[in-house]
Structures are given as structure tokens and as C-alpha cells.
A and B are shown apart, each in its own frame.
Chain A
Amino acid sequence: MSMDRRSFLKIAGISSILGFGASVASATHTIWQKGLEPPQVDKNKEALIAKRWAMVVDMSKFKTDEDVKQVITACHQTHNVPDFRNADGSVNKKDEIKWIWQASYERAFPGQDNKYMSEHMKEMPFFVLCNHCDNPPCVRVCPTKATFKLPDGITMQDEHRCIGCRFCMAACPYGSRSFNWRDPRGTNPNGEPFIKNENKEYPMRTKGVVEKCTFCTERLSVGKLPACVEAAPKGGLLFGDMEDPNSEVRKIVTNQYTIRRKSDLGTGPAIYYIVGGSDHA
């Protein structure tokens, strides 16, 4: 049988593509393999369950700077969030990663201040963090579902799957997300590690992935409240199930005036702020 070189090359090319493709396809069967399902896996008995986790922030309970700082420290230390502070102690705006921090009233709620408001009111600090929205734009735009909604309302982050495209950061209307612009396992010019006290029970992240508050799913799974809630003075940060009519958070939101950040965008944030109430004014 004789064939010309061109036909031979065509047949050889197509066969190798098919053969290669077949071997790749058979290797990927493990990926499409069904994952683990109940009853082989289950939740911990002590896990906290809710239909819709939400948080109420009452800044009037935070009297001192120390009160505020220990909340942020509790979160960042529990989750090995690196501190990229500059050598002189100033914030490194370029690399910084933060899951929860404070912003002034006029920054956290832009457009809701007025020109007659006192500077004191405009500068009043409020905790800001991921709002775990009902209808989160970040989840909508993530091309790999690395950020996704859990059934209990938490907007979760899967660091294993994130490709670092940072679209979620562009999409978030609240600026809640941080990116690892460099390896958090480094040291600053003074020789101090970026992560000072490692929490050995929680992983770090690596360069090139996005991270944010996850409402402490790892603590909820073992029956503990989120780290920030535990570290806050009593009543400062309330955490509960909005769908449970008997929960504290539900009662507050039903009966008191609370505001949410940029609520007109339709995102449905789950962080409610008590303003102008009780001891404060």
C-alpha cells in the first residue's frame, strides 16, 4: 500500500491527537469521580447549624481602642493572616491583607453622611468585613466557583481552587477581599516573620490566591462562635441565625433600626449595624 507523505502525516497527526486525548480523558476520570457522600461523611455533632448566619454590629459596646484591636487580632491570628507592616510601623497599602478592620462612618457608608454632620460622627469607627451577601457579585463572577455560597448563608472561599484572577475583588462592592501579592511566609526587613504567632491548627495561604472572612466555618464546625465575636466585648458583635425567630440577631433587626452597607445594590448583605442606639448618640 503506498500513500504520499502528506496523507501519512495527516493520519499520524490525527491518531496521535486522538490517542493523546483519550489518555488525558481517561486520566481525568478521577476528577469526575463522585466525591464523598453521606453516610461515609457527616457533620460533627457539636457543629453549629443555621439556615442563614448573620451578624449584628453594635459599636457602642466598644469603648476603647483596645476593645477594637483585640477583635481584629483575634481574627487575624486565628487565621494566620500576615502583617506586612512597613519597617516604620505604617501600613503597607500595597501588600496588605485584612479580613476585618475598622473604617470611619463616612468611609463605610459613603453617601449617607451630610455636610452638617460633626467630624466626630463622620469619624466614628465601624467594623467592616465580608458581608456574606445573599446575592453576592463575587460568587457570580468567579470562573471556577472558588468562591461560593454555603447552604447556611456563608460566602465561602476555596483556596485550593482559586486561580488568582482577582475578578471577585473587582466585583465586590465593599472591598472586603484581599489578595496574596507575595508569599505570606516571608520576613520583613527587620527579620520578623509576617505571620508572628502561627496558629498550627489552621493553614496559611500561598501567593496568588484571594482570601477573606469566612465566618469561621472551621470554628462553627466544632461548636465555637467566630473568633471576632468571642473576642468582642459583650454584645459588641452578635452572631446568629437570621431565620430563627428566637435568635438575638433576628430580634434586634426586627425591632431596632439597623443599616447595612450599600444596601441599594441588591447584594443583600448580612452584616447589620446598629446606629444611634442605646448608650451612644
Chain B
Amino acid sequence: MLEKALVGSKKYWAWLMFLGALALVGAYYYYQQFMYGLGLTGLHRDVTWGLYIGQFTFLVGVAASAVMLVIPHYLHDFKTFGKIVILGEFLAISAVVMCILFIMVDMGQPMRVVNIFLHPTLTAMVFWDTVVLNGYLFINLLVGWVTLGSDRKGIAPPKWIKPFIYLSIPWAISIHTVTAFLYAGIPGRHFWLSAIMAARFLASAFAGGPALLIILALIVRKISKFDAGKEAIQAVGRIVAYAMFANVFFLGLEFFTAFYSGIPGHAQSFLYLYTGLEGHSELVPLMWTSTVFAAISLTMLWIPAIRRNEGTLVLACIMLFISLWIDKGFGLIIGGFVPNPFEEVHAYWPTMPETMITVGVWAIGFLVLSLLYKIAITVREETAGIEIEH
């Protein structure tokens, strides 16, 4: 089926070339970073994780969101999701690829990454994250490929794939829980030291990922004959609405604990992010944008008339995605580091090379996504009209 990715219109190839060019730019800046050191980024002694790890955290959520399609379709026989599931699985694959790339560009000694496997440390969440992420990539590749291959032949997938499909469900939950555990168990960082971290992560994952999926499914419908189905998109929209409500609610809970308890350690990071602290307010405009977008998109999603109109639904999803990207891909990470253990404020802002490398990794992710989607679309177009049995 791979050959289907190599046949396409001029626009398809132009799109791939564009992404390839961005990826090359990213690679060039990564080479600079590799030679000079991570000092080329805006990171420093007090803020040791920034854009790269933020993107990683956000994308693990996007990857996990495929489970929101798998559970209804495979576990509860929700046939409406029959066509859209493959889009979710392929999105998960490209998201995990981006996660792995973001980790690799963030490492100080990337050549030594094998040490994680040579000297496994069972207490280290990074070790478990590596294991579950790679496992998830493998599962999604396997499941996506086999089910799509069977659809192409117009038959039901082989029975042995079912255990892998069922495995992907708790596995998806686990990848994001483990990622949350990276933060939630650190004793010195009160902004992160909250039991609700994992729940927040999952809620924002199940809102952000499917939101992106809606956008992608509508794009796919526009540029090809693959229609995931109006009902499927509406169902995903409802999932996004509920998950976003949970996410905003959980954030509100965090605010309550931080400010009602009055413990300065808990509140200071929130103050830095939303009002500025000690003269530093770099992140304030971003965080408020995130809040406003979250409020607007949530309202839009909760009004049925707006949600049913696919035009306004897409707008809501775009705002939601941006809001969550800012909150999880940036604010969450920086907030944990500022103020530092000495209660000093040393701000962080990404540099140009850092940003270009990030853009490059996103380009590679979208490249993988485009190639996989091209295969899925072609198969669906070829088999249009044949009943799919899952």
C-alpha cells in the first residue's frame, strides 16, 4: 500500500515539497545546535525544559486521543466511526513520531540515548515513557496497516488483530498518564505537584486531539472523495465538547487549590503566568489568549446549533487547539520552572533556532501524516461503496 503515497496530484507533491523544505531548515538548525550545544536555545539553569518538551507533552496527548475513536468503534460497536478510525490511528502515529523527535532534539547527548535501554531504571518515568511511547507507535502502525489492508481487499480484518486493538485502549491511557507522572511526582515544583495532573492531561488530550481530527477530516473531505461522515464528525464534536469542559473544570480546580489555600508556593506560578511576577510578564498575553479561546470555543461547542454547523465547528476546534497548545505546550512547562527553587524569577523565551527546529519537527510530523493519509484516502476511494466490516 506504500506505493499509494507516491502517486498524487501536483498539489500533493507541492505540499510534500513545502513540508520537506521546512524539515530541511529545521535539520540545518539542529545541526547548529548539535555542534554548539543546547545553549542555542533560550533554556538556562533555571528553566531547563521549554518549547521542545512542551511540544512533546502536548503531542503525547494528541497521540493518545485516538483512543476516543477506538473505544466507541471497537469496544461498543459504534459503526458510525467506521471510516474515521483510520484517520485517528494515523494521526496518532505521526504524533508519536513527533514526540520521539522532540525528545531527541532536546537531549544534551543524543548519541547516548541507548543508555536508557542498557541501564533500565524502573523508578524513572522517562524510562517508562520511552517504553510505552515506542510500544504505542508499534501498536498503531500494526493496527492501522492491517485494518486498512483488509479494507482494501474488502474483507474483515484477521481475528488476531483484535487483541492489539483492545490493547491500544489502556495503552493510550497509559502513555499520557506516564507523561503526566513526569511532572506530578516532583517534590520541589508545586505548580506540578498535583494529583489532578494526569486527569488534566487526559482531558485536554481528549479535547485537543479529536479537535485536530475534525479539522483534518474536513480538510480530507474537501481535497478528496473520502468523507468520514457528517454523523461521525458530529459525534467527535460531542466528545470534544465534554472533554474540553472537563479540562476547563480541572484547570479551575487547580486555581482554587492554589489560591484558596494561600500557600505562596502553589500560587506563585499561576501569578507569573497570568499576571506577571517581579516585573516579568512575558507569558501573560499568551495565557490570556489561551483562556479566552478556551472560553469561546467551549461555549461554541456547547451550543448545539453552532456545533452542528460544520463551519463554526471548525472555527471552535481551531481556537480550542490553539488554546490547548498554549496551555499545555508552553505555559504548563514554563510555569513549573518559574519561580525557581530560590523563589527568583528568571524568564524563558525560545530563540529563533529553537523555533525553527520545532517548526522542522512539526513539518516532519505533517509529512508522515500526509503520506499516511494519502494511503488511507486512496484505499477508501478505491473501495467506496463496499461495506466495511470491522
Residue ranges of A at the interface with B (Cβ–Cβ < 8 Å): 28, 31, 93-97, 103, 106-108, 110-111, 137, 140-146, 161-167, 169-175, 178-183, 207-210, 262, 265-267
Known A175-B46, A175-B340, A181-B38; judge A209-B109 contact (CB<8 A): yes
B115 and A175: CB pair below 8 A? Answer: no
Please give 4 more A-B residue pairs, beta carbons under 8 A apart, in addition to A143-B130, A162-B108: A97-B45, A163-B108, A163-B115, A182-B37
Residues of chain B lying within 8 A (CB to CB) of residue A108: 342
In whole angstroms, what is the CA distance A166 to B110 when docked?
12
Instruction: Using A103-B342, A143-B116 as known contacts, say yes or no to A207 and B108 having CB atoms under 8 A apart.
Output: yes
* Interchain CB contact under 8 A, A137 and B187: yes
Q: What is the minimal beta-carbon distance from B128 to any residue of chain A, in angstroms?
A: 9
Q: How many Å lie between the Cα of A96 and that of B337 in the bound state?
A: 17
Residues of B that sit less than 8 Å from A by CB: 36-39, 43-46, 48-49, 106-110, 112-113, 115-116, 118-119, 121, 123-127, 130, 182, 186-189, 264-265, 336-337, 340-344, 346
Known: A144-B116, A163-B112, A209-B109. A265 touches B188 (CB 8 A): yes
Nearest A-chain residue to B124, judged by Cβ: A143
Picked from B108, B124, B342, B343, the residue with its CB within 8 Å of the CB of A166 is: B108
B186 partner, pick from A170, A175, A208, beta carbons under 8 A: A170
Q: How far is the CB of A189 from chain B (nearest CB, A)?
A: 15
Residues of chain B with a CB closer than 8 A to A31's CB: 118
Which secondary structure dominates where chain B touches chain A?
A: loop
Q: Whose C-beta in chain A lies nearest to the C-beta of B341?
A: A175
Q: Which residues of A contact B48 (CB under 8 A)?
A: 166, 169-170, 179
Q: Which residues of A contact B182 (CB under 8 A)?
A: 167
Q: Please judge, given known A-B contacts A110-B342, A171-B188, A179-B45, whether A140 and B109 are in contact too, CB under 8 Å.
A: no
Q: How far is the CA of A162 from the CA of B124 in the complex (A)?
A: 14
How distant is the Cα of A140 from the Cα of B118 in the complex, in angstroms? Answer: 17
Q: Are A171 and B186 in contact (CB under 8 A)?
A: yes
Instruction: List, sorted by A's number, 18 A–B pairs whose CB atoms are closer than 8 Å.
Output: A93-B44, A107-B344, A142-B124, A144-B115, A161-B115, A161-B119, A162-B108, A163-B107, A163-B110, A164-B109, A165-B106, A166-B49, A170-B189, A178-B45, A180-B108, A208-B37, A208-B107, A265-B187
* B45 touching A173, Cβ below 8 Å: no
Closest Cβ of chain A: how far from B102's Cβ, in Å? Answer: 12
Which residues of the other chain, B, contact A163 by a CB distance below 8 angstroms? 107-110, 112-113, 115-116
Residues in chain B near residue A175, CB distance under 8 A: 45-46, 340-342
B41 nearest CB neighbor, chain A only = A181
Q: Which residues of chain A have C-beta atoms less than 8 A from B126's C-beta?
A: 141, 143, 165, 167
Inside 8 A of B123's CB, which chain A residues have their CB?
A: 140-141
Bound: A170/B37 CA distance, A: 19
A141 and B108 contacting across the interface, CB-CB below 8 Å:
no
Chain B residue numbers with a CB within 8 Å of A142 are 121, 124
**Quick one: closest A residue to B116, CB to CB?**
A143
Closest partner residue, chain B, to A261 (CB atom): B341
A181 touches B39 (CB 8 A): yes
Q: Is the pair B187, A267 in contact by a Cβ cutoff of 8 Å? A: yes
Q: Given A175-B340, A175-B342, A182-B39, do A161 and B112 touch, yes or no (CB 8 Å)?
A: yes
> How far does the Cβ of A43 sit from chain B's closest Cβ, in whole Å?
24
Which one of B39, B44, B49, B121 contacts A145 once the chains associate, using CB atoms below 8 Å?
Answer: B121
How far does the alpha carbon of A180 sit from the alpha carbon of B36 in the complex, in Å? 11
Q: Are B112 and A173 in contact (CB under 8 A)?
A: no
- A17 nearest CB across to chain B (Å): 14
Q: Which residues of B contact A165 (CB under 8 A)?
A: 106-108, 126
Within the assembled complex, what's the spacing in Å between the Cα atoms of A181 and B110?
14
Q: Is the CB of B189 within 8 A of A111?
A: no
Residue of A nearest to B192 (CB): A170
